[in-house]
């Protein structure tokens, strides 16, 4: 369907609009979770925009601000019948500029770009920081570590502090919702009263996703990974690892997980300071 891009309206999405994007993502094989939209929207109700042709939503994406300190662009999707007409390019730049206007001066923007789109994103000012690879395997039964237990709301102070080391900026509003969403399980690793890592899995359209897995060292990471595999039963379980962390790559290889596809974490501006050696699995491609 040919169109004049001047006819498009760039508008903020409500929750139903975001749920439409999630439905499209599911059809594209992106494998979102059933409750992602609710958590994403509550994290930043002003963080989702799309193009409307008359009253029809034809494309959209996230432009989430973490208290103006850091932004994240994801969920970039256009309905198939409107692709290859300049809609996506115009939408992407407009979203980028809108997000910049929502951030403090010199705040960075992050995104995870698929391989064939990375040159386009680089033209738009983003630089590759590291490559993410998704791995898949079935759940399995392992002996539970005595240091592993479920995350309680009373743990949030320590969890939020640990998460900031691994994400780069605080995201307490997001995590308070994310960690306790339905159809999810959380794990913390505590030794000598010290939090040394945590992980979460959530039910996705297909199988489960680890989202995230952060750990002080490979021993802690392996115990948390085993806890996630236990929780998945015999279902498929996915993890997105930053391959710059060689210990994360070793972990998935040790458990004979299968490579699925890859993206690259990219930043516009100076990347936040992240303790990448603690990142064994990122949280999401949609909100970082």
Asked, for residue 287, whether it belongs to a domain, the answer is no
Q: What is the pLDDT of residues 113-144, one digit of tens each?
A: 999 999 999 999 999 999 999 999 999 999 99
Does the pLDDT at position 74 exceed 60?
A: yes
Asked, for residue 39, whether it belongs to a domain, the answer is yes
CATH number for position 45? 3.40.630.30
Based on the domain organization, do 123 and 206 belong to the same domain?
no
Residue 35 CA to residue 22 CA, distance in Å, equals 10
* Residue 173 structure tokens: 């509003």
Residue 282 CA to residue 269 CA, distance in Å, equals 20
Average pLDDT, rounded, for the chain = 96
Count of CB atoms situated within 10 Å of the CB of 11: 13
Question: What domain range includes position 72?
Answer: 5-130
Q: HSE on the CB side for 173, CA within 13 Å?
A: 13
Asked, for residue 288, whether it belongs to a domain, the answer is no
| Mean pLDDT computed over 68-97 | 94
Based on the domain organization, do 152 and 227 belong to the same domain?
yes
User: In this predicted structure, what is the pLDDT of residue 78?
Assistant: 95
User: In this predicted structure, what is the pLDDT of residue 2?
Assistant: 58
User: In this predicted structure, what is the pLDDT of residue 5?
Assistant: 72
Based on the domain organization, do 62 and 202 belong to the same domain?
no
Based on the domain organization, do 223 and 113 belong to the same domain?
no
Give the domain-ending residue among 130, 165, 180.
Answer: 130
Asked, for residue 119, whether it belongs to a domain, the answer is yes
Count of CB atoms situated within 10 Å of the CB of 185: 18
Based on the domain organization, do 120 and 53 belong to the same domain?
yes
Q: What is the pLDDT of residues 103-112, one digit of tens each?
A: 999 999 999 9
Asked, for residue 238, whether it belongs to a domain, the answer is yes
Total domains in the fold of the chain: 2
């Amino acid at each position: 369907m040919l169109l004049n891009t001047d006819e498009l309206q760039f508008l903020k999405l409500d929750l139903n609009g975001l749920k439409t994007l999630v439905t499209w993502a599911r059809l594209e094989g992106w494998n979102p979770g059933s409750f992602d939209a609710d958590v994403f929207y509550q994290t930043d109700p002003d963080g989702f925009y799309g193009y409307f042709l008359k009253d029809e939503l034809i494309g959209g994406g996230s432009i989430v601000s973490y208290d103006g300190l850091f932004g994240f662009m994801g969920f970039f999707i256009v309905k198939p019948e409107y692709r290859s007409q300049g809609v996506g390019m115009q939408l992407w730049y407009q979203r980028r500029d809108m997000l910049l206007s929502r951030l403090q001066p010199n705040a960075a923007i992050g995104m995870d770009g698929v391989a064939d789109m990375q040159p386009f994103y680089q033209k738009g000012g983003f630089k590759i920081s590291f490559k993410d690879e998704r791995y898949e395997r079935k759940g399995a039964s392992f002996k539970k570590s005595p240091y592993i237990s479920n995350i309680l709301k009373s743990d949030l102070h320590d969890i939020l502090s640990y998460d900031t080391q691994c994400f780069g900026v605080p995201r307490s509003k997001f995590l308070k919702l994310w960690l306790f969403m339905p159809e999810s399980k959380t794990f913390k690793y505590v030794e000598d009263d010290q939090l040394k890592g945590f992980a979460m899995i959530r039910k996705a359209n297909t199988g489960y996703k680890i989202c995230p897995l952060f750990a002080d060292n490979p021993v802690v990471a392996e115990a948390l990974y085993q806890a996630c595999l236990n929780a998945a039963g015999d279902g498929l379980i996915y993890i997105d690892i930053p391959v710059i962390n060689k210990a994360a790559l070793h972990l998935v290889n040790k458990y004979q997980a299968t490579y699925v596809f890859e993206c690259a974490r990219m930043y516009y501006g100076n990347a936040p300071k992240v303790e990448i050696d603690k990142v064994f699995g990122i949280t999401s491609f949609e909100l970082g």
